[in-house]
Copies of this chain bind each other. A is one copy, B any other.
Amino acid sequence: MDFERADALNQAIRHLTLRHRARAAALLAPLDLHPGQEVLLLELARTGPMIQAKLSEALGCEPPSVTLMARKLEAAGHIRRKPAPSDRRASVVELTDSGTALAGRIKQLWSTLAEETVTGLPAETVAALPGILMTIADNLDTRRPHQHSQHPPA
């Protein structure tokens, strides 16, 4: 690919990244949350209590990041950590009542953000977008080599 097109693409991704995060930060600020933390709460709300290693995989970031985010969310009273019953290394993380309530509010902000995001795009583009972006993310994933499976493994 020639540099012009490559640069246009990379730069578009960069700006998208910065603006999406900035807009998320603005929406989350009234809840006293920083971007990144909301994903942890949403994941717990979706899947239920889980160990930090699983959280790390679900969020797509490394364990030390989870440690720090969890510590802050715990200090804020939104999550709780307790020893895993069958593994004394691990901690099970779960939502508190406060965290559950917060997750509900986040879901609404999340919809607002998504609507703002796709404003002005044709419906078919909007429909195709998540798949396209997931493919791209998968192409760039260095942890799991590279496979694109829409269906859960048998």
Contact = CB atoms under 8 A, between A and B. Distances in A.
Interface of A: 1-3, 5-24, 26, 39, 42, 60-61, 107, 110-111, 113-122, 125, 128-130, 132-142, 148, 151-152
Contacts of A129: 9, 12, 132
Nearest to A139: B119
Contacts of A16: 13, 17, 133-134, 136-137, 140
Q: Kindly report how many copies of this chain are found in the complex they form together.
A: 2
Contacts of A118: 9, 136, 139
Contacts of A130: 5, 8-9, 12
Contacts of A15: 60, 133-134, 137
Contacts of A121: 132, 135-136, 152
